[in-house]
Amino acid sequence: MIVLKGGTVVGSEHRIADVAVDAGRVVAIGSVDVGPHDQVIDCSGAWVGPGLVDLHVHLREPGQEWKEDIASGSKAAAAGGFTTVVAMPNTEPPIDSGQIARYVFDRGAETGLVRVIPSGAISLGRAGAKLAHLDDLWAAGVRMFTDDGDSVADSGLLRRAMDYIAELGGIVAQHAEDPGLAGRGHMHEGAVSSRLGMIGLPSMAETIIVERDIRLIELTGCRYHVQHVSARQTLDVIRRAKEAGLPVTAEVAPHHLEFTDRLVETMNPVAKMYPPLRTEADVAALRAGLEDGTIDCVATDHAPHSAHEKDVPFEEAPRGVIGLETAAAAVNTSVGLPAVTFFERMSIAPGRLLGLETGPLVVGSVADITVFDPNLSWTPGTFVSKSANSPWIGTEITGRVRATLLGGQVTFEHKEGASA
Ligand SMILES: [Zn+2]
């Protein structure tokens, strides 16, 4: 038996208690007597809640294992308090058939540190022309479909995908970025891009795709998820769609809750991601949207790139930053959600979306558990991930994952004095 001792349990009621775990399940919540053979994890001062779920990670396997692979990404996820991650299909080859999806499932299960669920491409080869093998992907266990990295620009193709995926019962997730409006933009289009003389990427490129997609949801009834919302105008569209009762959900990435386009002034490629960092008004709107539930969940968009790839001029640098190991602390620092809302946005809502058995911890729950100390400050420097392209390096953040359990097994335990 493992006993998580003295934490604040995010359960049916919110109180300080011990949580006992045995044979993969929560077997007791309350005052638990510890026997000589039990493993005890001190949770005083920490929150003990359901394991974190990340709907958006790039594990780079197959095809780009020098950046990350399923084993190293799983280790980084466990260190970040995650027990389930959804792998994006922009691998090489892309996850556009059941065979590749099964490979990702199997590698995740072999590693055994986090539940790895692949998402499937909407279009064959993510080329945006023909539908991927959607039924084959579904049969392999894929539930979320996306061409992430690119928008599905062809409205006719997206409509057919939505018709099909609605019938299967799946979710269409969209990386909303109109290719024409985005052009060759490297950063948010606004005062800072003008000052730097850099080509900008307007907020409208995101908003206009979500506007269009809402029309297609009205038509098809397909469940729809907006990936990494970055612009306040997009948030207004999502809010209206939800008010109209449409099956729409949304995620936000931790970096969009903290940084603005001012970070690009450093010309450091860790400030380059798509969608780009926007303005203070956008950051404020995203924080408010996460608090009030217009945004359902946080997803990292963990996008590893090796040092030599990022060590080039800003315009040539690849897009994206890592986020698994810093996400919980970053969200705690920038938004400061109360415990119940924190676990709702980081675990329960994304888990529900995937149809997982996630919820507040009760006796009988699957023992996917995250122990998170909301008051412990630290400064990220080194990472478990193969890559270190993080905008939080050298920035103090508050909140530390003290332990992660997957199916009752400890997959991560923070040792005092250890770096990352
Ligand atoms: Zn994306």
Instruction: Give me 386's structure tokens.
Output: 């193969």
Distance 298 CA to ligand 1 centre (A): 14
Asked if residue 74 belongs to a domain, the reply is yes
Instruction: Give me 261's structure tokens.
Output: 């386009």
Spot the catalytic one: 301, 311, 368, 373.
Answer: 301
Q: What pLDDT is stored for residue 224 in this prediction?
A: 98
Q: What is the pLDDT of residues 131-144, one digit of tens each?
A: 999 999 999 999 99
Q: Is residue 205 left, alpha or beta, with left meaning phi > 0 and alpha meaning psi from -120 to 50? A: alpha
Query: Taking the mean position of all CA atoms in its chain, how far away is CA 120?
Result: 16
Distance 206 CA to ligand 1 centre (A): 11
Asked if residue 25 belongs to a domain, the reply is no
Asked if residue 205 belongs to a domain, the reply is yes
Asked if residue 66 belongs to a domain, the reply is yes
Q: What pLDDT is stored for residue 312 in this prediction?
A: 86
How far, in Å, are 87, 112, 150, 214 from residue 84 at the CA level? Answer: 10, 11, 24, 28
Q: What pLDDT is stored for residue 313 in this prediction?
A: 87
Helices and strands (H, E) in the chain, number of each type: 13, 18
How far, in Å, are 4, 33, 45, 246, 269 from residue 26 at the CA level? Answer: 10, 15, 20, 35, 44
- Distance, in Å, from the CA atom of 378 to the CA atom of 337, rounded to the nearest integer, reads 19
Provide the residue type at 268 as one letter: N
Q: What pLDDT is stored for residue 12 in this prediction?
A: 81
**Distance in Å from the first CA to the final CA of the chain:** 27
Distance 86 CA to ligand 1 centre (A): 13
How far, in Å, are 61, 70, 317, 325, 389 from residue 386 at the CA level? Answer: 12, 11, 18, 12, 10
Asked if residue 411 belongs to a domain, the reply is no
The domain tally of the chain equals 1
Distance 282 CA to ligand 1 centre (A): 18
Asked if residue 243 belongs to a domain, the reply is yes
Counting Cα atoms < 13 Å in the Cβ hemisphere of 33 gives 1
Q: Is residue 125 left, alpha or beta, with left meaning phi > 0 and alpha meaning psi from -120 to 50? A: left
Supply the DSSP string of 208-244, one letter for each residue: HHHHHHHHHHHHH--EEEE-S---HHHHHHHHHHHHT
Element of type H or E holding 7: strand 2-10
Asked if residue 326 belongs to a domain, the reply is yes
- Distance, in Å, from the CA atom of 58 to the CA atom of 91, rounded to the nearest integer, reads 8
Is 386 strand, coil or helix? Answer: coil
Asked if residue 126 belongs to a domain, the reply is yes
Q: What pLDDT is stored for residue 301 in this prediction?
A: 98
Distance 252 CA to ligand 1 centre (A): 11
Distance 226 CA to ligand 1 centre (A): 10
CATH number of the structural domain spanning residue 136: 3.20.20.140
Domain residues for the domain of 144 are 51-354
Distance 16 CA to ligand 1 centre (A): 39
Residue in this structure with the two tokens 């199997």, named with its chain if needed: 106
Residues of the chain with pLDDT under 50: 419-420
Please give the model's pTM, rounded to 2 decimal places: 0.97
**Helix orientation angle between 232-243 and 204-220, rounded to the nearest 10 degrees:** 20
Instruction: Give me 116's structure tokens.
Output: 């790895």
Q: What is the pLDDT of residues 251-304, one digit of tens each?
A: 999 999 999 999 999 999 999 999 999 999 999 999 999 999 999 999 999 999
Residue 69 known to be catalytic: no
